[in-house]
Each structure stands twice: as structure tokens, then as C-alpha cells.
Copies of this chain bind each other. A is one copy, B any other.
Amino acid sequence: MNIGIICTGDEITEGLVQEQNLYYIAKELAPLGYRVIEAVVIRDEIELIVKAVERLRESCRLVVITGGLGPTFDDVTLEALSIVTGIPLEDDVSYLEELTKRFSSRYGREIPEQLRHQARTLRGSIPIENPSGSARGLFFTNEHHADYLVMPGPPHELREVLANALQVIRKPEHILVRRTIGFVEVTEAEISPILESLRRRFPHVRMITRADYAIGPTVFLIAREEHSKDIQRVAKELSERFRGFAFTTRGEDFLGLLVDRLRGRGLTLSTAESCTGGMLSSALVSVPGVSDTFLGGVTTYSNTSKLSVLGISKDLIDKHGAVSKECAAVMAENVSGVFSADVGLAITGIAGPTGATSNKPLGLVYSAIHSRIRQEIYESVYTGTRHNIMTKASYGLLKKLWRMLFRQ
């Protein structure tokens, strides 16, 4: 079932707050078989809302509108809907009584005129309870045109009203099945031709790719329930074709899965960081329950601290520099000793904007993995801002650890 979403609010078009409802509505409705074909964000103006509704109802069976239900002068969503449908607004007398009672019991004062507006509703619509606020949602069904679902704008209220709305709104004909495949160390451009041939062979499976610059591409597979076997087949082919590069076929989070696998092998980790400044260790610590796997780390930002805390020789730094393969290797080895960890990870590099030299460019990063049985050292040149380089270096090393330990 095609649906359209209209989010109203000057605070959004002015760039003062991040719009959140569109994502939440799509995330909740898409898996149920609703198909969002367009979402519009507009100012709180009657004519703009009227135009948007008139346009979306042409191609949608359901038009969802959020915002503009509050008590202030710019809350005009119901007026707009009344204009579009030609159906008058009326007061819901019993809800007005309830509002009046609620207000006086909470504040001990008479209900302000503005709040009385919130008892207004479109004649013939179904009210939807809002446990967190005074603006209820409403559903208006139409046999011949689009249905309308109106919900309040504050995100925490919207979530509760949407849950109630799902009991009331028209159901889609088809249930959807989904699968999520995550990749490391392979590019979207390399996955793309394989997907194209899979698309030809499995026309009932929708395939959506997203590139996350820190981790790697993710492919989402979506199909109607009757084609769920096709989804399994596509997932299997993709993970076999990219064996060693697909870290999940069930949508797990990369960091969570990495920590899980390390725990399964009983391996402990420690980190030594220079240019990433603690980002590598805080990425690991973002995973709940990581304490039996991650023992600790050091950020040796100054050269002196590399000498004193990690026991790196002054000779080594004088000869090769702090940004060098040699330094990364010894950092990884020594930090595993400091924390008595099975594995030591190390990163040293030039995150910029200054610090580059003629033979060591901006973005040059050396990283290393040290364990008792294996050592690997990597040289990379990352592009982007200081933050991007730090992020790519941190996640890049975790991806390499994953490939080294768990590639099939």
C-alpha cells in the first residue's frame, strides 16, 4: 500500500531541530508492507499543507500528517484537512470535559482558551489516544480517496500515538520479509554488478544498498512473504560470493558481533593510540558488556609518553619517526604486555590538518595487530577531515582484526 508522509514545522525548515518522525514512521510501517513513496517537510502554513495533501492523495492510499496539532496560532493542520476534505471541524464534547478536568487537577487553574482547541476534531474521524500529551491523533477513512492519519509532532508523543494508530488504520495486502547483509573491506562498486545479476534472477526481491564510510556497505533484502525462500537464496549467494567480506547476514551490528566473536574465542584486547586519541578504545567500550574482552588502552599522544608509558626506545623514534611501521609494531606489542592482553592493537598517523611532511602525507596511518602467534602491520592513506581520518583509521583496524581472525 502506497503511503505519503507530511511533516510540518518551521523549526525544521529553519534548521533548528533534526526531523525525527519521518524516520520513525517509515521504520515502523515499511516492514508491515506500507510503501512510503514520498515524504514532505513544510512550514506550518495552511495553503502549503492543503497543496501537499492534494498532491499526495493522488498517488497514496494513506496520507500521514504529523505536527501542527498544538495549541498555538501556527497549529493549522486540522483546518487544512477540513479544507481538503470539505468536512467541517467540530468539538468533541466529552474530550473537552476530560481535558478541562485533567488541566484543573494538574495545575489548579481554569483551562486556557488555547488548550480548548485540542478538543476539535474532523467530523466522522476516529480519535487516537495520546498518553503523553493533550493533542490526540485522528484517523479518517475514505472508501474512494486516500485515508488520512494525523499525529502530533513531538517525537515521544508520535511514537505512542502511532502504536495506537496501528490498531485502527487499513492493513496492507501483503506482509514483507527482510534480511540485512553487512560487508567489510569491499566497496559498493564491487558488490553492485553481483546485485544486478541477482536482481535479474530474483525479480521479487528488492535490494537496497547503503554505504557506511566507517564500516562498509550494507545490503537490505526485502520481499513479500511468499518469496521468503528467494530472500534466503540471495542472502546465501551474496555471503558465499563475498566469503570473508560479509560479516553478517542477519543484520547484527559490526562492533557487537566483533566483541561477541572475540569473547567466544576467549581473546582479550588492548589498544595503543596516537592520532585516533582514544576513538578506537571508545568504539570498543560502546559495546555493552565488553569488559571481559577489552582490558584497556593507552593514548600516547606525545612522543615522550610513547617512551615512558609504552617503553618505546628513543632510538626507534629518532630513526623511523613516531609515524612509522616500526613504531606501530612496537606499540601493538608493548601495549599487549602492559595490559597482559592476548591481542594488542596500535594506530599512529597524521590526522591533520597539520603535521604532514614531504614523505609523510596528511592521512598517512600505520596500524598494527600483535598477538603471540601473528603480527600484521598496515599502511593506509585516508582522506577527509581530521574526524573522518580518525574514524576511518579506528574502524579500519577493527575490520582488519575481524578479517584476520574470523574470515571464513
Contacts and interface: CB of A to CB of B under 8 A. Distances in A.
Interface of A: 10-20, 22-31, 36-43, 48, 70-74, 106-107, 112-115, 131-133, 154, 156-157, 160, 187-190, 192-193, 195-196, 199, 206, 208-211, 213, 220, 222, 271, 273, 275-282, 284-286, 288-291, 294-302, 304-305, 308-309, 338-340, 351-354, 381, 383-388, 390
A302 B309 contact: no
A11 B298 contact: no
A227 to B, nearest CB: 17
A207 to B, nearest CB: 9
19 contacts: A11-B210, A14-B36, A14-B222, A15-B23, A15-B36, A37-B42, A37-B48, A72-B188, A271-B299, A276-B282, A277-B294, A278-B279, A278-B281, A281-B299, A281-B301, A288-B352, A289-B354, A296-B301, A305-B339
Given A38-B40, A282-B282, A296 B295 contact: no
B114 A193 contact: yes
Contacts of A302: 291, 294-296, 339
A285 B390 contact: yes
How many identical subunits does the complex contain?
2
Contacts of A38: 13, 40-43, 48
A16 B131 contact: no
A324 to B, nearest CB: 17
B385 A160 contact: yes
Given A16-B220, A276-B282, A288-B352, 5 more contacts: A12-B23, A72-B209, A132-B385, A279-B285, A305-B339
Contact of A286 (B31, B199, B220, B386): B386
A197 B385 CA distance: 41
Contact of A22 (B36, B41, B190, B286): B41
A13 B157 CA distance: 21
A59 to B, nearest CB: 10
A108 to B, nearest CB: 12
Given A192-B114, A294-B301, A390-B282, A15 B25 contact: yes
Contact of A10 (B31, B208, B384): B208
A384 B281 CA distance: 21
